Amino acid sequence: MKANLLELSGVHTHIGAYHILHGVDLSVPRGKLTMLLGRNGAGKTTTLRTIMGLWRASQGAIAFNGRDITSLATPEIASMNVAYVPENMGIFADLTVQENMLLAARSARNAAQMDEARLKWIFSLFPAVEKFWNHPAGKLSGGQKQMLAVARAIVEPRELLLIDEPSKGLAPAIINNMIDAFAQLKASGVTILLVEQNINFAKRLGDSVAVMDNGVVVHAGSMKELAEDGALQHSLLGLAI
Ligand SMILES: Nc1ncnc2c1ncn2[C@@H]1O[C@H](COP(=O)(O)OP(=O)(O)OP(=O)(O)O)[C@@H](O)[C@H]1O
Ligand SMILES: [Mg+2]
């Protein structure tokens, strides 16, 4: 078994006429939480979308569990137990929380078929999901919607979670709840690649870190090392801290 669950080597991505990723090298160690940091427009979201097959790499290779997934279609990648929580969360506002969860559960046709022990675990991570179970998801606050989006992604066991800025626009108290939930999620052994702008969130959760700028990874290492080096943070992230 390889130490890295996911590996990108020299990945280039074009969106239409634009050349966005310019040779991304990224290793995501198995069972760890890897933070993907970088200024606005650095290419973080494009990297997650390329991993997921939503954009196609024009050059380079993406390996998952030692298998080349570079040219697989998104549903095939998802079927390998990779889940993606996009920046806009992808929640259906008119459906209830329960219906949103059910849509994400491939093996269940109705609520009764959902794995009860797993649901209980999800409720313990994200109490709002239980509290608003029969309410339209559109009624949830921004933070609760983020929690629901993550809860959807883990409704069935996953090997890899790709999560794009879950703390965006949230109040500090809610961010703390989210950090606690992610810490528990991490303890469950799932591998996580997490995009963040919030350096404190990153410091408290990250095992390893990659920093992007202008479509490439400009720094990779342990989160601890970056957290303790203010000058390095400043040079890599500038105003983002
Ligand atoms: N659909 C698109 N069409 C054209 N350009 C795009 C598209 N999506 C992203 N880009 C460009 O690609 C670059 C990287 O964008 P990306 O969304 O990956 O950045 P990001 O690091 O996620 O930024 P943010 O922190 O603001 O979310 C930006 O310059 C952006 O303008
Ligand atoms: Mg983004």
**Is 43 a pocket residue for ligand 1 (Cβ < 6 Å)?**
yes
Of 8, 11, 15, the one to substitute when testing ligand 1's pocket (max ligand atoms within 8 A of C-beta) is 15
- Compute the distance between CA of residue 168 and CA of residue 173 in angstroms, rounded to an integer: 13
Confidence class of residue 239 from pLDDT cuts 50, 70 and 90? low
Of 167 and 97, the one with more pLDDT? 97
Residue 67 Cα to ligand 1 midpoint, Å, equals 27
Residue 46 Cα to ligand 1 midpoint, Å, equals 6
Confidence class of residue 171 from pLDDT cuts 50, 70 and 90? confident
Q: Whose CA is nearest to atom 25 of ligand 1?
A: 40
Are the C-beta atoms of residues 24 and 193 closer than 8 Å to each other?
Answer: no
* Residue range 62-90, pLDDT digits in tens: 999 999 999 999 999 999 999 999 987 78
Of 2 and 31, the one with more pLDDT? 31
The full DSSP string for 67-110 is EE-TT--HHHHHTTTEEEE-TTTT--TTSBHHHHHHHH-TT-SS
**Is 18 a pocket residue for ligand 1 (Cβ < 6 Å)?**
yes
Nearest atom, ligand 1, residue 165 CA: 27
Cα 58 to Cα 43, 47, 77, 96, 123, distances in angstroms: 15, 12, 17, 39, 41
Are the C-beta atoms of residues 70 and 60 closer than 8 Å to each other?
Answer: yes
Q: Give Cα 199 distance to the centre of its chain.
A: 16
Q: Whose CA is nearest to atom 28 of ligand 1?
A: 41
Q: Above 60 in pLDDT, residue 202?
A: yes
Q: Above 90 in pLDDT, residue 194?
A: yes
Of 196 and 89, the one with more pLDDT? 196
Q: Above 70 in pLDDT, residue 240?
A: no
**Is 46 a pocket residue for ligand 1 (Cβ < 6 Å)?**
yes
Residue 60 Cα to ligand 2 midpoint, Å, equals 21
pLDDT for 160:
97
Query: Which amino acid appears at position 128 of this protein?
Result: A
Which pTM was predicted?
0.93
Non-local (6+) Cβ contacts of 41 within 8 A are none
